[in-house]
Amino acid sequence: MGRPPCCDKVGVKKGPWTPEEDIILVSYIQEHGPGNWRSVPTNTGLLRCSKSCRLRWTNYLRPGIKRGNFTDHEEKMIIHLQALLGNRWAAIASYLPQRTDNDIKNYWNTHLKKKLKKLQDGQNQDGFSASQPKGQWERRLQTDIRLAKQALCEALSLDKPRSPESKPSTAEPQTRQFQSQASTYASSAENIAKLLENWMKNSPKPSQTNSDTTQSSLNNTLGANSSSSDGAHSANTPEGFDSLFSFNSSNSDVSQSMDENANLTTENGLLQDESKPSMEVHVPLSLLEKWLFDESAAQAQDDLINMSIDDSAGLF
């Protein structure tokens, strides 16, 4: 038996992406929007499989991605969300709109795991081990119950009216949604090109082997779009994405930043949709905030869990 491979293994390029490939992919997505990944390699001539294209876009090229160090705030959120959701990185990432699931997963595996282990060793039994009393199984089950409940509510139109910032994209016809996506892409085309240019100028990383030809070909490719790039902006790193799509997420005003997160998610739905399924159901922000940042996080976690169970009890 066996499932056929997602693409012909013959003639498919693997390994790190070159800037040229990035440009081709970004240009294509600017024009057509993300999605229909199957057709991307054939339409662009990229010798990559569709999966690889999607991954490259969602994890690296997609606008709005924040790169670089995680803040304490983000770190805390990841730790707590991981405690609640387990290794459901996509779900965790949906609470951190600027981070990809891959980023979070990597950060967890390389930094936080060790950090927590150290903490655990130091505290020996209390601390994090105490705040994580339940097995991953149970946590997952509870999350699933919540998701199922939400889905059922939506299906039956039983749920309460939503707050404006949580307009469900599911209620919007796919075509309409895509139209708005396309327009956003058109307006951000120049930005993406600029950013890629900056990225080329500043990043020491991407395939140094072909840097010369790459740079010149990039200049050619980007010539039109990059003409308006100003000096101040070009000083940015790959994180140049930040300057265009950033929002303040300082620790001092968590509540505000969380709300802004929500707004960003909605307003730039386009930026989120590909990697953050619109079906993703979020716990109300206020409760989440409380849970994340309250000293008595454990208590709030119980509230969350109870909410799931209690609410589910009424339904099932």
Residue closer to DNA, measured from CB, 114 or 167: 114
Instruction: In whole angstroms, give the CA distance from residue 71 to residue 96.
Output: 11
Task: Tell me: does residue 155 bind DNA (CB under 7 A).
Answer: no
Supply the Cα-derived Rg of the chain in whole angstroms. 21
| 153 vs 254, beta carbon nearer DNA | 153
* Angle of helix 211-226 versus helix 174-202 axis, rounded to 10: 130
Among 20, 30, 32, 51, interactor with DNA by CB under 7 A: 51
Site for DNA in 80-109 (CB under 7 A): 87-91, 101-103, 105-107, 109
Query: Are the beta carbons of 206 and 310 closer than 8 angstroms?
Result: no
Question: Which one of residues 111, 134, 201, 233 is an interface residue with DNA (CB under 7 A)?
Answer: 111
What per-residue string of b and e applies to 125-164 under the rule 16 or more CB within 10 Å gives b? eeeeeeebeeeeeebbebbebbeebbeeebeeeeeeeeee
Minimum CB–partner distance for residue 224 and DNA (Å): 25
Angle, helix 297-315 to helix 136-156, in steps of 10 degrees: 50
Amino acid at 14: K
Give yes or no for residue 199 binding DNA (CB under 7 A).
no
Distance CA 307, CA 316 (A): 14
CB 276, min distance to DNA, A: 7
Q: Which CB, 184 or 303, lies closer to DNA? A: 184
Asked if 233 interacts with DNA (CB under 7 A), we say: no
Q: Does 205 bind DNA (CB under 7 A)?
A: yes
* Total residues interacting with DNA, rule: CB under 7 A: 45
When the beta carbons of 56 and 149 are compared against DNA, the nearer one is 56
Site map (CB under 7 A) of DNA, residues 250-289, x = contact: ------------------------xx-x--x---------
Binding to DNA by residue 197, rule CB under 7 A? no
Residue 258 near residue 289, CB atoms below 8 Å: yes
Q: Helix, strand or coil for residue 30?
A: helix
- Least distance to DNA from the beta carbon of 254, Å? 24
Q: How many Cβ atoms from other residues are within 10 Å of residue 49's Cβ?
A: 21
CA 23 – CA 29 distance, rounded (Å): 10
**Chain contacts with DNA (rule: CB under 7 A):** 3-4, 6, 13-17, 35-38, 48-52, 54-56, 59-60, 67, 87-91, 101-103, 105-107, 109-111, 174, 204-205, 208, 274-275, 277, 280
